[in-house]
Amino acid sequence: MTERPNYDDMVRQALMRGLTQRRVTRRDLFKYAGVGAGSLSLASILAACSVKGAKKTEPTGPTTLPETAGKVDIANWPLYIDKEGKNAAGVVKGGTVADFEKATGIDTRYVETINDNEEFFGTDIRSQLGSDQPTGWDIITMTDWMIAKLIDLGFLEKLHHDKLPNVTANIQDAFVNPWFDPNNEHSFPWAAGLTGIGYDRNKTGRDIDSIEDLFDPAFEGKIGMFSEMRDTYNFIFFKMGIDPVTATEEDVAEATTILEQQRPLVRGYYGNDYTDQLAAGNVWLTMAWSGDLFALQLGQADDQDLRWILPKEGGNRWSDNMAIPILAEHPADAHDWMNFVYDPKIATQITEWVWYESPVKGVQEMIAEDGKDHPNMALLAEDQFVWPSAEVLANTAPYKRLDSAEEAVWQDHFDRVVLG
């Protein structure tokens, strides 16, 4: 049998404790609250949760170059180098990369991983750069406006021009001291090109010559536009008859309305993957970067007739530039690579494959020389879009340089378009 507890006793004891023990006074309460607040107040939690600014106020990393490490990791865009055999991991071996390895003994990992400037920055390198970690890349190849943004954030190493004799000797004058990187302190161009329209003549059934063609309801669901905000807005500015470099917020709002009206016709907003879409026949006409189409033509199917044009309203003029992200692990080897590809012979080898303008002096002449034996190379040497004349360039515009506040406003507008 269990013994029944005596409840009367229990109540009595509780009452006694209440009357006799020291109770927490109001003053104590304030005291304890103060101690607690010091260690775990709402304000301190909020402060701990704030996200530090990514911008670097002082340079990170050494100011002198270390020794060559015998290894280099390079990130570049697809269809941007000659390659004889890309291995299963997408690592390019052969062609220029093999020549570089042979000449320098540097183990080279060259990967065609960049599809879109924002995407690469956002998903591949941003978090490392923001938290002072190496990105895993020694060379990244970014479009001019992204270089400007990376410089503003303090994310790029300063280049050692004395380690780049080929570059300083062979760079074309037009590429020296560009608008996005004064005195080429952080970058040198890999290649330059134009944004125009690529299309399959057999699918469209007619010649394309205007930005208006991207608004033709006959091509509903077969039109591609770019997810690169600046490229796409520039096109609409041309259509509106505005110089992109002077575009205002009102212009952007108007361009956004135009893009929203166009959206039902658009298959997708693409990065460099527009080339796959065009090759697969998913899009018939799309915004396109000049050189890609020449590379695609080499591999086009029998029933395809891929072409590229600069719209009569205008097109975009840009360059992609090699730069070294801060805390890169093999910066000396990265300099060696930059120097190597500015050898006119090597630059010719690359250009004959990629069909984008080379920033290296003498390349056009050397390609013309090869053209005596190879008709394709003769075409390349004379192509008015690979080597844009002053007349062609007059019908092009670069991107507007946006500060971060302006960029945020543009981005909000553009999101309304691409995010449906």
Partner 1 sequence: MAVVAPTVAQPSAQPPARRSPRVRWIAYLLLAPGLGWLFLFWLWPSIQMFITSLQTGTYAEGYTFTGNVGIYRDVLAAYPEQLFRSLVYALIVTVACLAIGYPLAYAIAMRAGRWKNAILFMVILPFFVSYIIRTLSWKFILADDGIFLGTLKSIGLLPDDAQIVNTTSAVLGGLIYNFLPFMVLPLFVSLDKIDPSLLEAAGDLYSNKRSTFLRVTLPLSLPGLLAGSLLTFIPVAGDFINAELLGNPNTTMLGNVIQVQMLEHNDYPTGAAISFILMAAILIGVFVYAKLLGTEELTG
Interface residues toward partner 1, by CB under 8 A: 2, 4-5, 7-8, 10-11, 14, 45-47, 49-55, 118-119, 121-123, 126, 152-153, 203, 221-222, 263-264, 266-269, 280-282, 301, 404-405, 408, 411-412, 415-420
Structure tokens, 269: 């907003």
Q: Which is nearer to partner 1, 269 or 308 (CB)?
A: 269
Which positions ≥6 away from 369 have C-beta within 8 Å?
none
Q: Which residue's CB is nearer to partner 1, number 260 or number 369?
A: 260
The strand pair at 315-323 and 139-143 is best described as antiparallel
Structural contact between residues 76 and 142, judged by C-beta atoms closer than 8 angstroms: no
Rounded-to-10 torsion of CA 379, 380, 386, 390: -50
Residues 6+ apart with CB under 8 A from 326: 56, 59, 60, 61, 129, 154, 155, 156, 157
CB 243, min distance to partner 1, A? 26
Please report how close the Cβ of residue 276 comes to partner 1 at its closest, in angstroms: 9
Residue whose pair of structure tokens reads 């923001």 in the numeric block: 130
Shortest separation between residue 26's beta carbon and partner 1, angstroms: 24
Burial class (CB in 10 A: 0-12, 13-18, 19+), 334: buried
Between 246 and 261, CB nearer to partner 1? 261
Residues contacting 72, CB < 8 A, separation 6+: 106, 107, 108, 109, 138, 139, 330, 333, 334, 336, 337
Of 213, 247, 220, which is closest to residue 413 (Cα–Cα)?
247
- Which one, 23 or 27, has the nearer CB to partner 1? 23
Shorter beta-carbon distance to partner 1: residue 206 or 345: 206
Q: Considering the complex, state which of residue 106 and residue 417 has its C-beta at the smaller distance from partner 1.
A: 417
Shortest distance in whole angstroms from residue 412 CB to partner 1: 8
Q: Please say which residue, 68 or 202, places its beta carbon nearer to partner 1.
A: 202
SS3 186: coil
392, 308 Cβ separation under 8 angstroms: no
Min CB(420)–partner 1 separation in Å: 4
Give me the least distance between CB of 263 and partner 1, in Å please.
Answer: 5
Q: How far is the CB of 11 from partner 1 (least distance, A)?
A: 5
